[in-house]
Amino acid sequence: QVQLAESGGGLVQAGGSLRLSCAASGRYAMGWFRQAPGKEREFVAAIVWSGGRSYYADSVKGRFTISRDNAENTGYLQMNSLKPEDTAVYYCAGRTTPAWSDRLLKWNEYDSWGQGTQVTVSS
């Protein structure tokens, strides 16, 4: 199983930026999900092991960028132009199948999860 740990959340004003990090070991595809109070966990972005393919939810496309540095065993989610509706607990997740699959869009297809980090965007 992949061991994951997120960092980088916090409080930011609307229009601001944050970068989340996910420290992990192993060969895996990585996803980011978020969950707001009273709502279901939703897909944000995913990237394959090689970094050669990524996919974004429509709600964040053009504002968020997922990336990874395998030499540093770290994945990233750069979040720009943040909106109040981006407020949620953000989770990184690992799937031990490193290549692309539509299953990467589904939270229950991941093998491992981080503890989550809170992102709050004020208006």
Q: What is the pLDDT of residues 24-33, one digit of tens each?
A: 888 899 999 9
Q: What is the pLDDT of residue 105?
A: 93
Q: Categorise residue 79: left if φ over 0, alpha if ψ from -120 to 50, beta otherwise.
A: beta
For residue 27, what are its two tokens? Answer: 């060969």
The answer for 8, left when phi > 0, alpha when psi is -120 to 50, beta otherwise, is left
- pLDDT of residue 1 exceeding 80, the answer is no
d(CA 68, CA 80): 17
- For the record, the structure tokens of 6 come out as 């997120």
User: What residues contact residue 102 under an 8 Å CB cut-off, 6+ apart?
Assistant: none
pLDDT (tens digit per residue) in 35-92: 999 999 999 999 999 999 999 999 999 999 999 999 999 999 999 999 999 999 999 9
CA distance 82 to 87: 9
Q: Quick check: helix, strand or coil at residue 120?
A: strand
Tell me what pLDDT residue 99 has: 86
Whether residue 2 has pLDDT greater than 80: no
- For the stretch 24-55, what's the b/e string if a residue is b when 16 or more beta carbons lie within 10 angstroms of its beta carbon? beeebbbbbbbeeeeeebebbbbbbbeeeebb
